[in-house]
Structure 1
């Protein structure tokens, strides 16, 4: 199994001339005490801090005055990593193989070589895939007393250079779902999709511009030179003359039809009025009967009515009204047709007048026409290229999706993780029906109060158990866990928590800090190297510094001059 574990740590305060040297064994290690403030947390914080992960210490601990030196074993090979402030020295056995102040690239690059493992994430600002700093390599392997029990995978600091959703996806690396090639493919796919959206927006703008240009060119005759333009301009000039003559004829015809229709309407009203006011039916007596025109008030007698009636050669008033109405309808229909022709001719005249404008210089018209033509051609080319690029983007996305489908099945891995976490929560006597359907690898469940520690621990354990069940080939690191019982008043609950931690034998090493471990030691099935701290605020001492003084000062001299 690909693995790494801590063999020892040496912490030395250069200013106070004090130090602490602590050995660890492969497997289970416990740092315990009966009192607080003896340095358990500071020792555990220093392990991954020495390796380049940023961690917040309490105010009493000045990390900038201290040299941190850890001895580690990677697949049976021994290495030493020393840190002072932002400087790092990495030794293979006793040979210096790296001296750097670059924890963002050179150090993780060397770790990638040694661990055969690295995490690559998209930068929040540039969107480019980059090698993530060491903190993301160790992210699930440390639970801090101060921050780790209030949020899953929140124990380290300085994580905000990446988006939260991207940060937690680093877990996929530990499960062997992602590697550098995978994340680069996904980032490439996202960039291609963004490019396609930009192309789509640009396409819309090009089409709007083209439509406006095409509308403008409708009023311009095409010409390849000035002579051709002059000849083409004669066409609208002649058309204008024809249209003006045609409009005059149409206007005269409309006026004639309107006059004729008015006459028929007038005579129809006379007959209709006569029918209403005819009183005396004894026409033989030829008694003079006066009638009044309903429109103009003119008085007319029977003789006038007879004249109107004789015009239509009909004696029956009702039938006469029907015939006159038919004539009026026919004239009205014909009049509408001529009016439509008149409107169309006027529109055509306006169009031809726009084409032919004697006030415009022919050369200016030619230049404008050529410019618009060139612009239309240019934007058509842009549109064609834009559509082609969009199709290429779609093709590239499909190819990437095809490659990504060959990855380990995320669904199966997620199901295994859910199963393991569920069992762990039940073991810790913290199960609640509300958790059904809520357990997700990338969206941790939360709890409050005394259950919070249990729920966080169950999810971390579930991750390691899933890695083990799937035989993940990625490297396993030490699990460093500080004060998992801090919120547990119950002796039984405390024992359940410790038992679950001691079941993590799939890991090369567990380093646990907890109070009063002697109260639970007999219940633990696995043996552990137990270190008991007794003196408050005296984790570092002068005697240890003197013992390792030469080595400490050699390392300090090397690091301070980087």
Structure 2
């Protein structure tokens, strides 16, 4: 499968009237400078940011209102992706610019199609809805962020919690434990599970209908005592006389049951809408009265939230929408109440008409046999017939729905068995063994034997990776893990293999192990057809790598240059061409 290779990054800030363009070579690249404040990490992050990866950019860059364009190839095919704010722009070979209003959704699907990234994750709110995750989930194993990636693997991008428990699925897919066919089956399971969920909802409504019928018309003992054939014969005889009234009563009972069910549902929605309106009111008050500036940092997770005027206005817009929902739901419930009262009145009238016939029927057939106690019974014999008829009908429907649910359960079990058969136990064990062998080999090459590998059985065990030889040795253990994962990904060929970007390998000042040897290890370990982009300070230890690499040397002008604004700004007019 071909690889993704970065060719060019073009960036501009209209606020600063500055711009620049950076080219990259297919093999080794170095972003360097004489100190840590020139923007090496930011330049690397902008590659991912432009493609929709959303790494952590500092407040300064967020204020520059940057637009950017990345040219990249997959095999011999060239693509362009532009970004301005959260709007994404994509141009495929010989195609026109396509505009996407946001990163998630259609753009994520388009990028995943290009990168052959087939992973799907369940929506956090609707678990039966599978989604293509944003590009950050594709780039995760190919990027080591200077601040986040060296402390824990699979952590170089923030805000991944939009999907619950994503790690197992994403890691297993990247490393070949989940094949693309797994997700084709997963979609079928999700669809049938949604159908099951709807059927279960229907069953609950049916149960509510039965309870309503029982509440309005208690069962008569005479009716219960009848056999099925006796009941059917008696029902046919009586229905000749009161067929229309009985059908009308059944319809009214059904309608009342539906109204009550819908009223309960709408009331729940109304309660949620009121709660959302109240919470948004609190959010807006907090953003105006308690937050200084246009950003807010979460004290727990460190996530930066936008508190600008447009964002506060969006909170008010959301509150207005919630208030509109409250008003609409209140109106619907009010209409249901009126409909419910009218249905009750019609039911009372219909039952009165039935009572008249019922009295005549009882008098004609049983007047000589009924004693005073039976004559005083409040439960009509004909009402009981109607009740039993309604219950018989809805129970038949419920049996059909229940059988449908059981059939879905059987189908899902078969589908899940087919998923397990995509990769045999022996194949999984071979992959585990290959990963552990590579990890042990890389740990040895990096002289990180203080890292305890005994708990590590597969790429999923990254949180168990720790060492006793000090911070520098633990960092080399993390690097060994990343390289073992990349070897597994390269062998799996589940998707396009991306360029690898490593931000500052010299973590924890590798004085106890030659930094130059770490760079040599990377040059030897990264597959020969894969692009490698390193960020590193300009020092003697990087000379060997520097001689083999295309060098981007940043100076005091940092990333953007005022003198290049007119030259490169016109390249970034992708939004004007749509």
TM over 0.5, yes or no?
A: yes
SS in 2 for 1:490: coil
Q: What is residue 8 of structure 1 aligned with on the other side?
A: 8
1:112-144 Cα shifts (integer Å, max 9, x gaps): 443343443221122211222222222221121
Q: What is residue 389 of structure 1 aligned with on the other side?
A: 404
Q: What is residue 436 of structure 1 aligned with on the other side?
A: 454
| C-alpha contact (below 8 Å) 1:71/1:78 kept by paired residues | yes
SS in 2 for 1:138: helix
Please say if 1:498 is aligned against 2:532: no
Q: What is residue 499 of structure 2 aligned with on the other side?
A: 478
Q: What is residue 423 of structure 1 aligned with on the other side?
A: 441
Query: 1:502-521 maps to which residues of 2 (within 5 A)?
Result: 502=523, 503-505=525-527, 508-521=530-543
Query: 1:180-329 maps to which residues of 2 (within 5 A)?
Result: 182-189=182-189, 192=192, 218=221, 220=223, 221-222=225-226, 223-224=234-235, 225=238
| C-alpha contact (below 8 Å) 2:79/2:92 kept by paired residues | yes
* Structure 2 gaps, min length 5: 227-233, 239-357
Q: What is residue 74 of structure 1 aligned with on the other side?
A: 74
Q: What is residue 58 of structure 2 aligned with on the other side?
A: 58
CA change 1:199–1:82 in 2 (3 A) is closer
Q: What is residue 169 of structure 1 aligned with on the other side?
A: 169
SS in 2 for 1:72: strand
Give the whole-Å Cα distance in 2 for the aligned partners of 1:501 and 1:373.
78
Give the whole-Å Cα distance in 1 for the aligned partners of 2:369 and 2:509.
97
Give the whole-Å Cα distance in 1 for the aligned partners of 2:206 and 2:564.
74
1:484-520 Cα shifts (integer Å, max 9, x gaps): 2222342516345434422112552010112345314
Give the whole-Å Cα distance in 2 for the aligned partners of 1:198 and 1:420.
48
| C-alpha contact (below 8 Å) 2:220/2:380 kept by paired residues | no
CA change 1:195–1:419 in 2 (3 A) is farther
Please say if 1:133 is aligned against 2:152: no
CA change 1:139–1:369 in 2 (3 A) is same
Query: How far apart are residue 102 of structure 1 and its match?
Result: 3.6
Query: How far apart are residue 393 of structure 1 and its match?
Result: 1.6
- Structure with larger Rg: 1
1:337-368 Cα shifts (integer Å, max 9, x gaps): xxxxxxxxxxxxxxxx9xx623237xx52123
Please say if 1:465 is aligned against 2:487: yes
Q: What is residue 231 of structure 2 aligned with on the other side?
A: none
- The count of aligned residue pairs is 435
| C-alpha contact (below 8 Å) 1:478/1:507 kept by paired residues | no
| C-alpha contact (below 8 Å) 2:220/2:384 kept by paired residues | yes
| C-alpha contact (below 8 Å) 1:108/1:118 kept by paired residues | no
**Which of 357, 360, 365 is the matching residue for 2:377?**
360
CA change 1:207–1:414 in 2 (3 A) is farther
Please say if 1:540 is aligned against 2:557: no
* Structure 1 gaps, min length 5: 239-352
1:243-263 Cα shifts (integer Å, max 9, x gaps): xxxxxxxxxxxxxxxxxxxxx
SS in 2 for 1:25: coil
Give the whole-Å Cα distance in 1 for the aligned partners of 2:363 and 2:176.
76
Please say if 1:487 is aligned against 2:508: yes
Please say if 1:28 is aligned against 2:28: yes
1:391-426 Cα shifts (integer Å, max 9, x gaps): 212221133124313423444434433332333233
CA change 1:208–1:219 in 2 (3 A) is farther
Query: How far apart are residue 482 of structure 1 and its match?
Result: 0.4
Please say if 1:155 is aligned against 2:152: no
Give the whole-Å Cα distance in 1 for the aligned partners of 2:432 and 2:452.
19
Give the whole-Å Cα distance in 2 for the aligned partners of 1:236 and 1:506.
102
| C-alpha contact (below 8 Å) 1:121/1:129 kept by paired residues | yes
Give the whole-Å Cα distance in 1 for the aligned partners of 2:39 and 2:10.
14
SS in 2 for 1:82: strand
Q: What is residue 388 of structure 2 aligned with on the other side?
A: 373
| C-alpha contact (below 8 Å) 1:175/1:474 kept by paired residues | no
1:317-337 Cα shifts (integer Å, max 9, x gaps): xxxxxxxxxxxxxxxxxxxxx
* Aligned-CA RMSD value: 3.9
Give the whole-Å Cα distance in 2 for the aligned partners of 1:200 and 1:437.
43
CA change 1:515–1:433 in 2 (3 A) is closer
State the TM-score, normalizing by the size of structure 2: 0.64
